[in-house]
């Protein structure tokens, strides 16, 4: 009997008991779908977290001046520290692990446009800082070195700040009053979306002005220097974030005159390191384990059904043997039945899993998620590798479950099954 004949025979038998076949298939279908869905969900989750953590700047390392920690100095002598533009320059010269370095100042200030007034976070930025943030423009331009040098009162507006403050009629060229001073809007930023790591307000809610203007207009009342709120930098290499941090701390500690390992004096934050602390690989591993277990349970279902089917069909097997079937023919018949189930269950499972993954990524589904959450719901990332893994895992499980009953079937003694007592 050719494999083709065996397969046709197997399909006919599957059709003969559709309900049982369907129930048996369910475990396999669900397991396969679970592997595909959970794996693509996991990859999507990683991407979502990575994106959401790095929206405020890729490979960002950022520091705020702190105070000398108790370990390094008696309590009475704990100084508050601050950074100035000179520290930024020092980092640019002495920290080769850092790609770009920029100072930033910030304050909350009332902003007004045509009778609308809001309190918004106003940041003094320089072009290097804009490059680190790397937010695309919706219209206009960013703040330039000329703006800095000439202390131009120009303004770049975040996406939501534009909606709330400027409304429909405001655009590039409009004038906005911030804390009494007039600024002309030169650029509007694209929407950034939900930031899982941020310093203060989200970028969408910020107003950006030249750093030089910011420090001149709003000096620190207690200090005789032009103090920065923070220093941000981009590490050259994501995998060398620790080296970049160490370098930053060394240079700044040296300039501040504090111990080089005083993490309280020079606190450094980087989203990449924070991301690393989320056990996403472990979570994905657990998901995979759960999915594979589901598949295994599906396989056990098939094993049970096929063994049952062999028992139920002992007489049939005896008849077939009496009519000239070789053991091999009987073995193949049951194996092919297993294969038919695998192919059918696999196809349905892949369709269900991939369909689910694609649906969660579709506009139809995503437009139904409330806007603030949308950035935090992963788009499952379906890949050929994920589908292949699921198909291979399913085939291994199901074929293992098919071989045992087939072997049982082939060893049936025809004389015994045909005896009528």
Partner 1 sequence: MSAVAIRLADVHKTYAIGENEVHALRGLDLEIGRGEYVSVMGPSGSGKSTLLEILGCLSQPSAGRYWLNGVAVDEVDADGLAKLRGEAIGFVFQAFNLLPRMTLLENVALPLLYRGVPRAARHERALASLARVSLEHRAAHRPGEVSGGERQRAAIARALVNRPSLLLADEPTGNLDSAHGREILGLLEGIHADGATVVIVTHDPIIGARTRRHIGIRDGAIESDERSAA
Closest separation in Å from C-beta 344 to partner 1: 18
> Quick one: 108 or 326, whose CB is closer to partner 1?
326
In the chain, DSSP finds a helix count (H) and a strand count (E) of 16, 12
Closest separation in Å from C-beta 13 to partner 1: 7
> Quick one: 304 or 319, whose CB is closer to partner 1?
319
What whole-number distance in Å separates Cα of residue 243 and Cα of residue 256?
20
Cα angle 106, 107, 113; round to 5: 110
> Quick one: 369 or 415, whose CB is closer to partner 1?
415
Q: Do 183 and 212 meet the contact criterion of CB atoms below 8 Å apart?
A: no
Closest separation in Å from C-beta 310 to partner 1: 15
- 89 contact partners, CB below 8 Å, separation of at least 6: none
> Quick one: 17 or 69, whose CB is closer to partner 1?
17
Number of Cβ atoms within 10 Å of the Cβ of 23: 12
Residue indicated by tokens 């701390």: 249
DSSP string, 189-213: EPP----SS-SSS-GGGEEEEEHHH
Closest separation in Å from C-beta 299 to partner 1: 26
> Quick one: 8 or 153, whose CB is closer to partner 1?
8
Residue 107's beta-bridge partner residues?
Answer: 122
CA nearest 10: which of 411, 308, 329?
329
Closest separation in Å from C-beta 401 to partner 1: 23
> Quick one: 1 or 259, whose CB is closer to partner 1?
1
Cα angle 108, 114, 116; round to 5: 45
> Quick one: 261 or 316, whose CB is closer to partner 1?
316
Closest separation in Å from C-beta 320 to partner 1: 7
DSSP state of 162: I
Q: In residues, how long is the chain? A: 421
Three-state secondary structure along 71-109?
A: HHCCHHHCCECCEEHHHHHHHHHHCCCEEEEEEEEEEEE
Closest separation in Å from C-beta 35 to partner 1: 34
> Quick one: 13 or 196, whose CB is closer to partner 1?
13
Q: Do 118 and 164 meet the contact criterion of CB atoms below 8 Å apart?
A: yes
Q: Determine the 3-state secondary structure of 269 from DSSP.
A: strand
Closest separation in Å from C-beta 330 to partner 1: 10
> Quick one: 2 or 367, whose CB is closer to partner 1?
2
How far, in Å, are 290, 318, 383 from residue 392 at the CA level? 16, 34, 14
Closest separation in Å from C-beta 415 to partner 1: 4
DSSP state of 270: -
Closest separation in Å from C-beta 406 to partner 1: 16
> Quick one: 44 or 414, whose CB is closer to partner 1?
414
Question: For residue 15, what is the enclosing H or E element?
Answer: helix 3-16
> Quick one: 180 or 324, whose CB is closer to partner 1?
324
Closest separation in Å from C-beta 399 to partner 1: 24
What whole-number distance in Å separates Cα of residue 209 and Cα of residue 402?
70
Q: What is the binding site for partner 1 (CB under 8 A)?
A: 1-2, 5, 12-13, 16, 315-316, 318-329, 413-415, 418-420
Cα angle 122, 126, 129; round to 5: 90
Q: Determine the 3-state secondary structure of 127 from DSSP.
A: helix
């Amino acid at each position: 009997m050719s494999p083709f004949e065996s397969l046709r025979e197997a399909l006919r038998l599957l059709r003969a008991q559709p309900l049982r076949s369907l129930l048996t298939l369910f475990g396999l279908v669900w397991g396969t779908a679970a592997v595909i869905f959970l794996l693509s969900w996991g990859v999507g989750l990683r991407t979502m977290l990575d994106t959401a953590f790095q929206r405020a700047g890729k490979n960002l390392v950022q520091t705020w001046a702190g105070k000398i920690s108790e370990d390094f100095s008696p309590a009475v002598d704990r100084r508050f520290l601050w950074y100035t533009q000179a520290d930024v320059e020092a980092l640019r010269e002495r920290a080769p692990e850092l790609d770009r370095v920029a100072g930033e100042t910030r304050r909350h200030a009332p902003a007004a446009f045509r009778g609308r007034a809001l309190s918004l976070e106003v940041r003094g930025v320089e072009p290097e800082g804009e490059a680190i943030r790397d937010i695309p423009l919706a219209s206009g331009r960013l703040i330039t070195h000329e703006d800095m040098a000439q202390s131009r009162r120009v303004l770049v507006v975040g996406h939501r700040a534009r909606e709330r403050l400027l409304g429909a009629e405001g655009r590039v060229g409009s004038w906005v009053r911030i804390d009494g001073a007039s600024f002309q809007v030169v650029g509007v930023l694209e929407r950034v979306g939900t930031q899982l790591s941020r310093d203060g307000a989200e970028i969408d809610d910020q107003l950006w002005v030249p750093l030089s203007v910011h420090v001149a207009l709003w000096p620190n009342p207690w200090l005789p220097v032009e103090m920065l709120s923070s220093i941000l930098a981009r590490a050259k290499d994501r995998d060398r974030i620790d080296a970049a941090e160490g370098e930053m701390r060394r240079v700044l500690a040296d300039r501040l005159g504090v111990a080089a390992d005083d993490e309280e004096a020079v606190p450094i934050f980087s989203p990449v390191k924070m991301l690393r602390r989320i056990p996403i690989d472990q979570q994905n591993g657990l998901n995979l384990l759960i999915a594979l277990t589901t598949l295994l349970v599906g396989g056990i279902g098939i094993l049970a059904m096929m063994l049952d089917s062999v028992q139920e069909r002992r007489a049939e097997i005896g008849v077939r043997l009496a009519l000239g079937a070789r053991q091999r023919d009987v073995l193949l018949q049951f194996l092919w039945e297993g294969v038919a189930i695998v192919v059918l269950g696999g196809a349905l499972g892949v369709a269900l899993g991939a369909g689910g993954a694609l649906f969660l990524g579709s506009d139809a589904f995503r437009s139904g998620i409330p806007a603030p959450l949308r950035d935090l719901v992963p788009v499952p990332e379906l890949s050929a590798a994920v589908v292949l893994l699921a198909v291979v895992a399913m085939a291994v499980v199901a074929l293992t479950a098919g071989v045992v009953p087939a072997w049982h079937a082939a060893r049936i003694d025809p004389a015994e099954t045909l005896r009528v007592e």
